[in-house]
Structure 1
Amino acid sequence: MLHVNPKMINRLNELEQDLLTRRQHAQHENWLGEIEGIDLTLTYLRTKRDEAERLTHRTVIQLGIPRARGDGD
């Protein structure tokens, strides 16, 4: 699946708001298939946003530049 850059969290929040508005309209119109599709998309979006938010809290570990082993290593 797609890995989301943490810089895109705000965009995901905007997309979620749009989907919630669309879901409300679909519910008003009693479009059950549309509601189901939106709910599934919301689940995926929220999972990806949570994953991206977790990435913002991870510590970066510097491994250094790899080098070939030579004499004396």
Structure 2
Amino acid sequence: MAGDSSYKPGEIVKVSGIYSVVYEDGKDTFEVTCVEGEHFPPTRNAKGAHFELKYGATHSHKHEALKETQAQA
């Protein structure tokens, strides 16, 4: 269902995580990983397709608990 939490191909990803790719007819939905700062990918032959955030996640290099560990490595 499209709404405030749906994103079109080409828009910039604001939250890293797992997104559902939803087609206009609602069939053949699947999940993909999208990374903050990148663009949502184009979809083939799918007018009206959009992305919906299913599970958000902090990218490892931005997570506070991992910053010190990565600097020491």
Instruction: State if a TM-score over 0.5 links the two structures.
Output: no
Q: Could you tell me the TM-score, scaled by structure 2's length?
A: 0.24
The higher-RCO structure (CA 8 Å, 6+ apart) is 1
The structure where helix makes up a greater share of residues is 1
The structure with more radius of gyration:
1
Q: Could you tell me the TM-score, scaled by structure 1's length?
A: 0.24
The structure where strand makes up a greater share of residues is 2
